[in-house]
Structure 1
Amino acid sequence: MNDTVRAYDLDAAAYVAGTARMPDSVRAALEAFGARLGRGARVLEIGSGGGRDARLMEELGLSVRRTDITPAFVTLLRSHGHDADLVDPLADDLSSSEGAYDGVWANASLLHVARAELVTVLARLADVTRPGGLLRISLKEGDGDGWSTHGSISQPRHFTYWRSDALRTLVEGTGWTGVDIRSGIDGKRAESWLELEAVRG
């Protein structure tokens, strides 16, 4: 288990409590995502955490496959009666016996993926999404990468920061088209975020 996953594993309950309130920007993005997909659409969620986003998606009529790389999050989700899978999007099978997904939701989770590995993750996500399906991810805006200790997680976590142009170029080379990126979205600790949507080509 890498150090970032271990950090979440140690403080999973505290993280869930600290992120229980959904930011208005995330709610708006989820509602737009749900409206574009339509009721009954099947969504692969990467990084479900405590399940906050999945609950709203289900209220919007979507069918969500909850996944996380952190064992403690998967245990918490299952303890609340949800099906949840322990999945590393870089290495594990992402496919479903029900066929290709209509959309992929990865809110503030792929920011822990190393720069050189994100291209592989996005291509793997494209492989399990139907043509015309939607991708929505959010990443921290900035340059380089580094370790940070903040919020409810007591141990350091590794973050990779992105700029819009570099991210757009990478995504367009992994099977996704119609890339739309919003930048400069304020976070609760004065950080800046990128929100990206794309369509499976």
Structure 2
Amino acid sequence: MTKPDTDDTLAFYRDNAATYAARERKPPTARLDAFMRKLPPGAAVLDLGCGGGHDSLAMLGHGLDVTACDGSAELAREAEHRIDRKVEVVRFQEIDWQERFDGIWAEASLLHVPRAELADVLARIRQALRPGGFLQASFKAGKVEGHDRFGRYYNYPSAEWLRDRFEDAGWSDIQMREADGGGYDGEPTRWLHVAAVRSA
């Protein structure tokens, strides 16, 4: 088992923030549209691990009240240029919002949380939602945590293991879908797309 060194992950985003934010990226249009359709007009949304701000920009364009944040200060600055508003620098383990958001969008971000810390982070995220609020998140599937060729840490969960972590954190109506795709590393990737609700 490899050591979950998230410092190396942050170092990658620090050193490559401009390139990463400016890359040609295929947007998750269908999933993002489905997420936004479930929200009332002007809903408060957290873009958790917003990266270069592409999805935040789309949600702002739909009239949502978006709070964008990222654990990388350098990526947060890149996102600020794209969306023309402040982006908060918050690491997953520091989340302490209480019942503030109607929805949380975590596209390819929680996959960097060390396995041993994921249930706690999911509980923190759940507390950030208003009762009845929901989360949409995506993970790279696998069986054992590890690093990609850029040195970034991934928790690489199986569907069963990930469902257990969501249940441990008190989530309801957990729905999971698997799909093939890719990522920044250009490698074929099996994705786990998770939707879950904070019960009223």
TM-score (norm 2): 0.89
Tell me if 1:65 matches 2:67: yes
Q: Check the 8 A contact 2:135/2:195 in 1, yes or no.
A: yes
Tell me if 1:12 matches 2:20: no
Match of 2:12, SS state, is helix
Percent same amino acid among aligned pairs? 36
Q: Check the 8 A contact 2:171/2:198 in 1, yes or no.
A: yes
Aligned residues: 190
Q: Which residue of 1 aligns with 2:3?
A: none
Q: Which residue of 1 aligns with 2:195?
A: 197
Q: Check the 8 A contact 1:141/1:184 in 2, yes or no.
A: no
What root-mean-square deviation, in Å, do the aligned CA atoms of Structure 1 and Structure 2 show?
A: 1.6
- Listed as ranges, the matches of 1:39-188 within 5 Å are 39-80=41-82, 81-95=84-98, 100-149=100-149, 155-187=150-182
Match of 2:94, SS state, is coil
Match of 1:196, SS state, is strand
Displacement of 1:61 in angstroms is 2.4
Could you say if the C-alpha distance between residues 92 and 59 of structure 1 is closer, same or farther in structure 2, counting changes exceeding 3 Å?
same
Query: What 5-or-longer segments of structure 1 have no aligned partner?
Result: 150-154
Instruction: Indicate the larger mover: 126-135 or 10-19.
Output: 10-19
Match of 1:162, SS state, is coil
Displacement of 1:79 in angstroms is 3.6
Displacement of 1:19 in angstroms is 4.5
Q: Check the 8 A contact 1:31/1:60 in 2, yes or no.
A: no
AA matched with 1:51: G
AA matched with 2:138: S
Q: CA offsets per residue over residues 160-193 of structure 1, 9 Å max, x none?
A: 1011111112102212100000013322521110
